[in-house]
Structure formats: structure tokens, C-alpha cells
Amino acid sequence: MFIIRPIEGKDLDGLMELLEKSGHGLTSLPRDPEVLKKRIRISERSFTHREEAPRGEDYLFVMEELFTGKIVGVCAIISKIGGFEPYYFYRVEKTHHESKLVHVKNDITSLHFHFIHNGPAEICSLYLHPEFRNSQNGRFLSLSRFLFIAENRKFFEDQVIAEMRGMVNDSGHSPFWDAVGKNFFKMDFPTADYLSVKNKRFIEDLMPKYPIIANLLPEDAHYVIGKVHPNTEPAKRILEQEGFHFSGLVGIFEPGPVLIADLDNIRSIKESIVGEIKEISDKSFKSEVFIIARMSSNFRAVLGGVVKLKSGGYKISGVAAAALKLRLGDKIRFVSFRPKDQKKKKPTKKKKD
């Protein structure tokens, strides 16, 4: 059984072990113990010291195998991006050109330097250990964050973005970086990626402000604009099913797409239900799978069954109650694990002739 909870200082070693196989592309979580230790401290403070409006709090969560304590995944939410240190992107613009004189039509893609000071919220830093990757764990890790947002709605901006990992291979090679970035930054991709975690200001200092015409780039560099890494395709599909769509922005170093959604239109937020636990059962019972979270400052989430009782309130299993540290009378927030149109339909019996 897996549980998702806020990260703690004691998790540093487990997080370092998890990230050993992360490769390049997980910019916000470099394999640097000092950087990670600082991020954990910021996260712990974010959970305990919040103002009435979002101020860039950084909430970091881990996915833990409950009976072994092994950390198998990590994800995060930033309540608001920008502020004193803006976030940098390219805005993708496409224009159509046509000459009837010579019977030529052409579409031109241009990239415009774009930065955000007063930005939306962001979901980020999602990584799942390769040995635990499957459709269930990845979806659980991604969507659990939305129950936390739903429960703490006033602490987040009204929109949220997700910058998806672009086409970078395991050795840190990016065709887009080779064609564009290295000409302006005079360093390799992994170095620039790492430095951007500590301070993004050098991006604005070195990046030219004029548009880049993508059609003039080598074919492989042009092709990857707006494309995601193959390992990121499942995460992208999950977010699109939740209501995210392409924002028109891509990353600066490796131009993966930036998805965006209105918080109140995200399925896992909009369809989540709050209810009181009236029964905890040690016996198995039939139920679809839900993401279940405890309604308290100490956020925890698991997968499990929930049944609405005729007498009012809800029933959950003893295992889920123990994992969430809940008792009768406590409240939960829960949502269907999959959108209605993604749930498996029961096979229909064929009529006999």
C-alpha cells in the first residue's frame, strides 16, 4: 500500500536514493543534498506558515510504501510562480504566409521570449521510481495534489500550470539546446539546467529578446518544440483528462509544452466530495477506487474504497483508516480515481440467437 504525505527532514536520504535514476530533465530536484535540504526546509515552512493569499509557497510531497517506508515517488505544488524572480518561457506563435503569384503556402513558427512575474500556481517536480511505474501509481501521485489544493483553495492562484519535460535524452543531450541555447549561454545543457534551480536571473541576462524563427533551425531542433519526453506522455495524458490544455508556452532550455487549467474546472477538484466517516470495516466490500485524503492540516492520501451509507456518512476500510490515521467521526475528501469516461466498462453478455 502507498501513502502520499508532506516531505519531512528525515526523508532527505530516501529522496536522494530515489533521484539516483532520475537522469536529466527533473530540473527542480537536482541530485544535490544541499539544494534538496533547502527545498525540504522551504516545504516544511510552507505547510506550517501561510498567509491569507498565495505567496509562492512550495509544497513537496513524497509517495511512501507504507509497510517498508521506502520513498518511491515525489511531487510538488507551488502556490504562485513569479514574484521577485520571474519564470521564463517561450511563447509560440504561428503565422500563415501565402503567395498566389507563385502558388506557395507556408506556416512560420516563431518563439518569443516571455517571462511571468505575477503568475499562476504550478504543479511540478513529479518523479516516480522506474520499478513502481504503472498507470495506477503515476495517476495517484499526480492527482493527489488536487485534493490538497481543493482542501486549501484560498492559498492558491485561480490557474495552475504544468511545465512538461521536453525531449532530452538520459545523457543530457537536447537537439534544441544544441541549436539555440548553447550559442547564448556558452555552457552545456545539464550545467544550465542546474544553475537555473539556484537563480534564474542569468537567463534574462544572456537570452536575446528578439524572436527565434523555428523554421530556420535544424529539423530535429524544430521537431521537438512543444513535444514531451516519451516517459512524460502518460503524465501529460492524465492532466489533459483532468482539464488541462496547451497554454501556448514552452520551456526555455528544452521546449516541452506548458499546460494550463482553471483550478475550479479541474475534475479532481470539482468532483471531490467531503464526508464524515460513519463506519470503518475490517471486511472487504465492493467499491470503485477513490483517492481518499484526510481533512486536517496533516495531509495524507491513499487509494481505497468508499461507500455511501443509507443512514448518512461513508464507510471506508480499516486499512485505509489506519493509513490515514482516522477515526469514526473524522472527515475525508475523496474523488474517483478515474474520470467517468475512463472507467472500465463491464463486458456486455451476448444474446443467444
pLDDT tens profile 187-228: 888 788 778 877 778 888 888 889 999 999 999 999 999 999
Indicate which residue of 49, 222, 229, 245 is catalytic.
229
pLDDT at 344: 53
Using CA atoms, how far apart are residues 290 and 336, in angstroms rounded to an integer? 5
Using CA atoms, how far apart are residues 310 and 308, in angstroms rounded to an integer? 7
**Residues with Cβ within 8 Å of residue 317, at least 6 apart in sequence:** 280, 281, 282, 284, 285, 304, 305
Which residue spans of the chain are classified as CATH 3.40.630.30?
Answer: 2-265
Mean pLDDT, rounded, of the chain: 89
314 is written with which cell numbers?
Answer: 461513508
pLDDT at 353: 41
- Look at the domain 2-265 and name its fold: Aminopeptidase (3.40.630)
Q: Name the more confident of 231 and 213.
A: 213
pTM: 0.89
Residue type, 186: K
Question: In the chain, what percentage of residues exceed pLDDT 70?
Answer: 95
pLDDT at 343: 60
- Look at the domain 272-342 and name its fold: Barwin-like endoglucanases (2.40.40)
Which residue spans of the chain are classified as CATH 2.40.40.20?
Answer: 272-342
Q: Can 129 be counted among the known catalytic residues?
A: no
In the predicted structure, residue 351 carries a pLDDT above the cut 80: no
